[in-house]
Structure 1
């Protein structure tokens, strides 16, 4: 692995095994008696404290034609909600902030990206009629970000969208359709769309602090079981529910029609986790998942090890 920035170096230096008794001072309002976590050793500190990776709220947007910083192949998370102008959330910002709390028309959303799992998910922030605001806890489980909500201080597993510690234990966030694609593809499809403006933080936006990560042999800060069937741990897979299609298979086919879904792959999106500059990342392509009526289906494109960690009994769609 070529983790050369001080940011990631701090993650390595600060990673320690922990248990609730060590966290109570920092998380005095969190109810650790309510949890689905059976083995606390699965949760480690990634280095930064709570909010050491600052989530964003009230993001600003600019018109697509006004954007000049983002290279054509750079990845963005596209969110399209009926009746609202489509929005693009650039990974060049999310790789440093991981969560954006936003409001799109009537829907409060959390747009999230976990670099260590490559998991990019968009959630409805309403739970039982209550609107939550999310931050980055600084904790990891199976190398996946643990989010927390500021209203109850409960912990949430990003890859699953479920409360795992505190008052919100067992609650689930509604997953909204969104997908990662190149900035060029989004801008061509939505010339009247909006793109999140550069946040007012001192960060080297456009740089990748995880250079070389997605070509590594092993995941970072992960000690769990590796995927079955000879699937490399850092191969991207397309997850829909508890099924996973290896990206290598989908890219070869271009289109797969299985399990009542149509999965498509097109080239043109740079990996955010390859080169030191995101724009220079190798082409990993973009995925879209639709149902039999052509409607977008919520899905994720994450690394194989993360799918196996959170869906150990999941189905691997390997074809023949």
Structure 2
């Protein structure tokens, strides 16, 4: 697991600087084709501490009925996935914060539910690429503080915040993003009384506890050496990303609802930050965001930290209003 400490950051940074060379990585990644990459400098990639699969992704998770779940606090965040014609599913962040990837299948659609705590990037992807179903794991590497995933079929590396292949034979391939959102357990339960919720994985983890206490109140991101966001926006302020546009959570919460650029973004209170207090359900209220088009259909989006948006979308548009 990653521990948010200055000593760990310094150690991992020194290790990454010494090891930013694919020749060093080949003993751990013998199947990865490092000759094919979109990464311009290997120094962009750092060790997050754990080795390959040191953060164990979950495949084929177990689910229980919403009515049987008694462990989650009302304000705890869950990833909601509601595919047409299928029973809605909730993936508690108390599990995602320790495993980062859940490989699942919903109504015949193979999905990867992903969460990078260091960027607060939470995205659900379709695992099919060119007719092949991929299964994803965690490399233990970071780029711009964001998790680098890998697929077990080719051991290519994928940037989680982009759903983009960056190293190996899958370089340049993109994963389709499936609309999903993070909301409180109480919100999901109230709307989906007959829904399903992911059960606790059979791993010895302190589920419900936050290994990154106080992280989203920090001045600087963990293991990040890039530029800070423009316009005086704090590095760890949450922003809603839709395509290459970003709205600050502060602006949306103040307005309650914003209609711009063909999207409708709404906010309401009641969801705890998973990166604040030791107990995830006791985190400060950051509220729930929903992003829809003007016809009311849910849109793919991300609720990431401002520094990550600036790093991955340096030419992106900041929707600051007046």
State the TM-score, normalizing by the size of structure 2. 0.96
Distance 1:106 1:248, change over 3 A: same
Deviating more after overlay: 245-254 vs 8-17: 8-17
Q: Counterpart of 1:289? A: 291
Offset from partner CA, 1:281-310 (integer Å, 9 cap, x none): 000000000001110000000000000000
**Where do residues 234-253 of structure 1 align in structure 2 (5 Å cutoff)?**
234-253=236-255
- 1:6 offset after TM fit, Å? 7.5
Distance 1:11 1:157, change over 3 A: farther
d(CA) in 2 for partners of 1:62, 1:106: 19
Offset from partner CA, 1:252-279 (integer Å, 9 cap, x none): 0000000011100010000000001101
Does the CA-based 8 Å contact 2:74-2:186 persist in structure 1?
yes
Does the CA-based 8 Å contact 1:11-1:48 persist in structure 2?
no
Counterpart of 2:313 (choices 311, 314, 317) is: 311
Offset from partner CA, 1:5-58 (integer Å, 9 cap, x none): 974459533442222111011111000010000011110111100000000001
- 1:164 offset after TM fit, Å? 0.1
Does the CA-based 8 Å contact 1:14-1:48 persist in structure 2?
no
SS at match of 1:309: helix
Offset from partner CA, 1:83-130 (integer Å, 9 cap, x none): 100000000000000000000011000000000000000000000010
SS at match of 1:279: helix
Counterpart of 1:59 (choices 42, 61, 65) is: 61
Distance 1:119 1:6, change over 3 A: closer
Uncovered stretches (5+) of structure 1, i.e. residues with no partner:
none
C-alpha RMSD of the superposition: 1.1
Runs of 4 or more consecutive aligned structure 1 residues displaced over 3 Å after TM superposition? 5-15
SS at match of 1:308: helix
State the TM-score, normalizing by the size of structure 1. 0.97
Does the CA-based 8 Å contact 2:271-2:286 persist in structure 1?
yes
Counterpart of 2:120 (choices 118, 121, 127) is: 118
Q: Counterpart of 2:210? A: 208
Does the CA-based 8 Å contact 1:86-1:193 persist in structure 2?
yes
Q: Counterpart of 2:265? A: 263
Does the CA-based 8 Å contact 2:77-2:183 persist in structure 1?
yes
Determine if the alignment matches structure 1 residue 100 to structure 2 residue 99.
Answer: no
d(CA) in 1 for partners of 2:251, 2:95: 30
SS at match of 1:76: strand
